[in-house]
Amino acid sequence: MAAAGAKRPATALEEPAVDVENMVQVLPLGAGQEVGRSCIIVKYGGKTVMLDCGVHPGFHGLASLPFFDEVDLAEVDVMLVTHFHLDHCAAVPYVTGHTPFRGRVLMTHPTKAIVHTLLRDFVKVSRGGTGEGLYSEKDLEAAIERTEVIDFHQTVDVDGIRVTAYRAGHVLGAAMFMVEIGGMRLLYTGDYSRIPDRHMPAADLPDQRPHIVIVESTYGVSRHLPREEREQRFVERIHTAVARGGRVLLPVVALGRAQELLLILEEYWERHPELHGVPIYQASGLARRAISVFQAYIEMMNDDIKAAFNVANPFQFKHISHLKSAAQFDDVGPCVVMATPSMLQSGVSRELFEAWCEDPRNCVVIADFAVQGTLARDILGNPSEVMTRNGVKVPLRMQVDAISFSAHADFPQTSEFLDTLQPPHVVLVHGEANEMGRLKKALEQHAAALGIPRTLYMPKVTQSVLIEHKAERTAKVVGRLGEKAARLGQPVRGLLVQGRGGTRTLMHHEDLPRFTKLHPGHVVQRQALALHRPFSEVRLALEMMFEGTQGAGDLGRVDAAGSPSRSGAQMLRIGDAVTLTYQPSDAAASGASGTVVLEWCGGSDADMVADAVVAVVLQAAGQPPGLPAIEVQRHKALAAGDVEAAAAAEAGIITSLLGAQFGPARVDADQGLIFVDVDGQHVVVNAKSGKVQCADGALRERVERALGRMQAALSPLDVSDLGGA
C-alpha cells in the first residue's frame, strides 16, 4: 500500500437522503485511516467545528495539508487545536492566512506557547525544503495573535457551541475537547494517554457522557509494555551499544518525548558511574528553548515533577549537554545523541543516521510512532540498504530498535475509556487502516459482550459519517415565569426565544428586554362604530356579556374608567384587553347618538375579545325595542342572585329575539315555553332545555341554530385570564 491517504479516495460514499436537521456530520479532512494531518470537521445544528489542523509528515508542501477544499472554510465557527505536535497544529497559519476561514481559534496556554516556538522553526525548515513554504513568519504571527486560550476544565461558548477542555496526557498542554451543540455532546480525544508517565499526568475522564467520541487509534489493538519494562529495555539497548564502542541515535520530536527520554537517561547515568565518560548530547536548540516553556508550565505536569521542581529544576541536567549543530559535533567515540526530526526525514537526525548506519556497533532507537512514508518507518522493515539524501544506496548495518515511548492510548486504555464513557457512537481517526480495522472489530466485540450499545465508524479522508441525533427540545424558563414552581401537567405560557446557538429560553413578554436584545412591540388596533341608540343600552349589553370570574352578578371586571364627563364621553375597559370610548355626537339632528371607538393591542386573545365586543355593540344597536327593559330585569336578577327571575328574564329576551327574527312570539312563563308563529307554522321552544318542536324539519333546524346563537350570547364570556398574550 502506498503512503496512506496520499490520494483522495476515488469514490466517496454517496450521502444518503436524510433529515439533515437531526444529523451530526463527522468529516475527516485528514487522519482518516491514516496518521498525520489531523483535521476533522463536525457539523450539527447549523454549526461547524474544526478539530485540529495539522500536516502530514510523510508529504511536503501543499500535499501535506488536509483536504481543505472539501468544505467551505468560511463556514467554520471555531477551530480547536489539541496539542503542539505538527500533525495537529502545523496547518493553522495556512488556514488563518490563506483561506476564507473567519472562525475563532482555541488552544490551551502551553499549546499556544509551544506551537509558536515550534512553527517558527517549521517555517524556516519548510522554506529551506523543496519549493515554497506553506506560509510566512508573518502568517504565523497573525495566527498566534488571533489564537484564544482555554484552560483545562474551562468552558468557552462560541455562538452556542460550548467547548470544554480536558487533560489528554500525551504531551504538555494536550487537551481533549468536549463540544456541545444544542444538547449534542461530542468528545474529541486528539492524541491521549490514560497512563501517567514521568512528566505528564494521565488524561481526564470527562464527567459528562458524550453521544459521540472521536478517538485516536494509533496503536490499534496492541498493548504497551509496562513503563518500567520499556524503560529497562531502552537503557539496556543503549548501555550495550555504547559498551561495544557504538554510537546511539535517538531521533525525537523536539518536545514531549524528548523530555521524557532525557529524564530516563539522566537518572540511569547518575546510577552508573562507568558511563560517565560517555557523553549524551541533545542536538536541538529548539528543545533548549522549549525547556523554558516547560518550566513556565511546570504546574501542569505530574506530581513527581512538581515535587522535584520544589527542590531543583528537573530539566537542569548534569549528564546531558547541548549541541548547536552536527558540524560542531566532535564524533570521536561512543556517545548518545538525541536529534530531531523523529521520522528521520531531514535535518540533524538524518545527517547522523547516514553517517552511522553502516557501522554494526551503532544503534538507532525509534521511540515515537513511526509514520508511514518516512525513513523511520522504512528501516523498521529491516532493509539491507537505504537511500541517502544524495540518492546513493548504502548498506544498513546499524542496529534498529523500536521502543515506543509515544504517549498514545493502547487497546486496554481505549477500551476502558469507552466502557466508562459509554458513547453510543465512536468514530476512529489517527490510525492506519489495518490497525484501525482491528481496533474497530475488537471494540465492537467487546461492547457486544458487555451488552453496551455502540456503533463504530472508521471513515477515510473526505468520507462523511452521518450520525442521527434527535435534538432535545428543552427551554430554560427565566424571569417572572420562573418565580412560580412548575407543577406537573400545568402548562407554562410565555415567549420562546431561540438563541443563535439553538439555546431556547421561555419568558414573560415583558421580560424580553431583560434577557434579550429584543424589545416587545405593540400593534394597537382601533375600530370606530356609529351608534344609533343610547349608549346606556350598549353598556348594559357589554356588562352582561363580559363578566369576571367572581360570579355571574359581579361587575368588577368591567370598570368605568371615567365617570361621564361634561361632554358625555365615557370610557370602559373590557377585561385587560379592550378599551372602549363613547363620544356622543354634537348634532343630535344627525340621528346618531354618537360614536364608539374600540382600542386593543393586537394578539389572538385580544382580537377575539374585540370581535365579541363589536358583535355585542352591533347587536345592541340593532336589537328590537323593548329588549333593554327585559335585559335590565335579567341583569338585576343576576346581581341579586335570583336565579328564577333571571331565567324568566332570559326567556323573555329569547322570546323577543325570536320574534324579531321569525315572527310573532309569546312566552308562557309558567310552562317555560315560547310559542312562535312563522308564516302559519307553529314552533314551540322549551326555554329551559332548548328543545324545539315544529312539524317543518327545516324550520325547526333554523330555529335551533338561532336559539344556539342567542344562548351563547347570553352566557357570560370569561375574559379574566386573557391579559398575558
End-to-end C-alpha distance for the chain, whole angstroms: 68
Q: How far is the CB of 254 from Zn ion (least distance, A)?
A: 13
Residues 147-186 that bind Zn ion (CB under 5 A): none
Q: Which is nearer to Zn ion, 301 or 673 (CB)?
A: 301
- Tell me which stretch binds Zn ion (CB under 5 A): 79-87, 226-234, 673-681, 699-707: 79-87
| Residue 603 CA from chain centroid, whole number | 34
Q: Which one of 65-73, 189-197, 337-345, 573-581 is the stretch in contact with Zn ion (CB under 5 A)?
A: 189-197
CB of 32 to Zn ion, least distance (A): 13
Q: Could you say which of 87, 204, 231, 547 contacts Zn ion (CB under 5 A)?
A: 87
Contacts (Cβ under 8 Å, ≥6 apart) of 530: 592, 595
Least distance to Zn ion from the beta carbon of 432, Å? 12
Q: How far is CA 188 from CA 49, 58, 91, 148, 523, in A?
A: 11, 24, 18, 19, 49
Concatenating the DSSP letter of every residue in 129-173 gives SSS--SS-HHHHHHHHHHEEE--BT-EEEETTEEEEEEE--SSTT
Could you say which residues in the range 190-249 bind Zn ion, by CB under 5 A? 191
Query: Among 85-93, 371-379, 550-558, 652-660, which window interacts with Zn ion (CB under 5 A)?
Result: 85-93
Selection from 600, 16, 59, 46 nearest residue 30 by Cα:
59
543-582 mask for Zn ion (x: CB under 5 A)? ----------------------------------------
Q: What minimum distance in Å lies between the beta carbon of 191 and Zn ion?
A: 4
Q: Name the 3-class secondary structure at 179.
A: strand
What is the spatial distance between Cα 38 and Cα 79, in angstroms, rounded to a whole number?
A: 12
CB nearer Zn ion, residue 89 or residue 692: 89
Would you say 544 and 554 are in contact if contact means Cβ atoms under 8 Å apart? no
Query: Where does this chain touch Zn ion (CB under 5 A) — which range of 82-90, 220-228, 323-331, 509-517?
Result: 82-90
Reply yes or no on whether 408 is catalytic.
yes
| Choice from 85, 112, 199, 440 touching Zn ion (CB under 5 A) | 85
How many residues of this chain interact with Zn ion, rule: CB under 5 A?
Answer: 3
Query: Which residue, 76 or 171, has its beta carbon nearer to Zn ion?
Result: 171
Selected range binding Zn ion among 81-89, 239-247, 521-529, 660-668, rule: CB under 5 A: 81-89
Can you name the residues that pair with 524 across neighbouring β-strands?
Answer: 601
Q: How far is the CB of 27 from Zn ion (least distance, A)?
A: 18
Location of C-alpha cell 504531551: 171
**Peptide bond just before 341 cis, omega within 30 deg:** yes
Q: What is the C-alpha to C-alpha distance for residues 443 and 426, in angstroms, rounded to an integer? A: 9
Cα 112 off chain centre by: 24
Nearest to 356 by CA among 396, 328, 402, 391: 396
Kindly state the smallest distance separating residue 148's Cβ from Zn ion, in Å: 21
To Zn ion, the closest distance from the beta carbon of 368 in angstroms equals 9
The residue from 56, 85, 408, 508 that is catalytic is: 408
Shortest Cβ 379–Zn ion spacing (Å): 21
Q: Map the footprint of Zn ion across residues 651-670, applying CB under 5 A.
A: none
The nearer residue to Zn ion, 87 or 351, going by C-beta atoms, is 87
Nearer to Zn ion by Cβ, of 345 and 656: the residue is 345
88/86 Cα distance (integer angstroms): 5
Q: What single-letter DSSP state applies at residue 533?
A: S
Short-list 149, 412, 145, CA closest to 300: 149
Instruction: Considering only the stretches 80-88, 105-113, 337-345, 518-526, report the one whose residues sit in contact with Zn ion under the rule CB under 5 A.
Output: 80-88
Cα–Cα distance measured from residue 418 to residue 714, given in angstroms and rounded to the nearest whole number:
69
Distances (CA, A) of 624 to 348, 548, 620: 110, 27, 9
Q: Cell match 452521518: residue?
A: 466
Residue 361 contacts residue 241 (beta carbons within 8 Å): yes
User: Judged by CB, which is closer to Zn ion: 70, or 191?
Assistant: 191
Question: In this complex, which beta carbon is closest to Zn ion, that of residue 313 or of residue 434?
Answer: 434
Identify which of residues 192 and 582 has a Cβ nearer to Zn ion in the complex: 192
Per CB under 5 A, which of residues 625..654 are in contact with Zn ion?
none
Q: Which residues bind Zn ion (CB under 5 A)?
A: 85, 87, 191
Q: Annotated active-site positions, please?
A: 408
